[in-house]
Structure 1
Amino acid sequence: MYDRILVPTDGSEEMRCVLAHAAELAEAHGAELHAVYVVNSSTYASLPMETSWEGVSGMLEEEGESALEDARRIVGEYDVSLTTHLLEGPPNKEIVRYAELDDFDLIVMGTHGRGGIDRLLLGSVAERVVRASTVPVLTVRVGREDDTPDVSATGKAHTSG
């Protein structure tokens, strides 16, 4: 069913269960697994002019490489091929663009499951990806007190949970 699975990571501790879930899926389906980290350079547009962009850019890339190294370590516990990529731009747009251009069968993403005013104020990369992607998206809810991930999948024409 799945030959190519994409899992975006932000390097947070919560991503461990998302990466493990994606690796289990890839292992079960004999699929390739790709992890991406998106350097969101637009977030740092408000830095003072005297701030060196090269220094900030280097720091952001190091953070991304560290997140991808964590992904390699976590996925290394599974019998799965992992390829990592460092991208730059708005995370939701880059994730969708990359998944659609490289012909992925599934995107596995973590979500904090925020609702109400938090979601409106903070936005959600996962929600934006779900809305914009033609590739099916499986969301893994992270950051819950009981640490039990909730998993839901959305496809082009259906939703299952």
Structure 2
Amino acid sequence: MVGDAIAYDDILVPTDGSKAAERAVEQAVELAAESGGTVHALYVMNVGDADFMVTPSDIAETKERLQKKGARFLDAATDRAEQAGVECVTATKSGIPEDEILDYAREHGVDLVVMGRRGRSDPDKPLIGSTTKRVLGKTDVPVRVV
């Protein structure tokens, strides 16, 4: 722990590649560097938000596209953490984003969740995006909204 700062052992940062998520990754890495913690970067494939899905082959194609996209976002988070000398664990889940975020936080004993206030799927929301708002309303884990 540095000064009077709170030490976090495990910091979860969900990422969707949005600018807000990129800033959340930056802050999660900074906090982990200050406290000697680990960053957990999580990408949730929300297949329901896909551009189109008509047939099973469309679904498979969409999942493959989302996995590739998520891998890029997680690689970027890992690179940022490595540059700061911070351990980074990555995971990809499929499902309803807020449920997967909350499940991951519980399963891994996360001390803090750092999230962007708006993600890719809700850029026009006025203040806090729907996923972030639902996570805030359903968890006892501290959430830092970036």
Give SS of 1:107's match: strand
Structure 1: which 4+ aligned runs deviate by more than 6 Å? none
> Match for 1:91 among 92, 97, 102?
97
CA distance in 1, matches of 2:114, 2:132: 9
Letter in 2 for 1:131: G
Displacement of 1:73 in angstroms is: 1.9
Name stretches of at least 5 consecutive residues in structure 2 with no aligned partner. 1-6
**Change in CA separation of 1:123 and 1:16 when aligned onto 2, cut-off 3 Å:** closer
> Match for 1:15 among 10, 21, 32?
21
Match of 2:139 in 1: 133
Displacement of 1:87 in angstroms is: 0.8
CA distance in 1, matches of 2:79, 2:18: 14
CA distance in 1, matches of 2:21, 2:91: 16
CA distance in 2, matches of 1:73, 1:14: 17
Displacement of 1:100 in angstroms is: 1.2
CA distance in 2, matches of 1:101, 1:26: 19
8 A Cα contact 1:9 1:68, kept in partner: yes
| Structure 1 residues 3-42: aligned runs within 5 Å | 3-42=9-48
8 A Cα contact 1:5 1:26, kept in partner: yes
| Structure 1 residues 71-150: aligned runs within 5 Å | 71-112=77-118, 119=125, 124-140=130-146
For residues 54-103 of structure 1, what are the alpha-carbon distances to aligned partners after superposition, in whole Å with 9 as ceiling and x for unaligned?
21111111111111111112222212100110111010111011101211
**Whose strand fraction is larger, Structure 1's or Structure 2's?**
1
| Greater gyration radius | 1
Displacement of 1:51 in angstroms is: 4.9
Q: Bigger relative contact order, structure 1 or 2, given CA contacts below 8 A and separation 6+? A: 2
Match of 2:8 in 1: 2
Letter in 2 for 1:74: R
Root-mean-square deviation (CA, aligned residues, Å) is 2.3
**Change in CA separation of 1:22 and 1:57 when aligned onto 2, cut-off 3 Å:** same
**Whose helix fraction is larger, Structure 1's or Structure 2's?**
2
Name stretches of at least 5 consecutive residues in structure 1 with no aligned partner. 141-161
Letter in 2 for 1:40: N
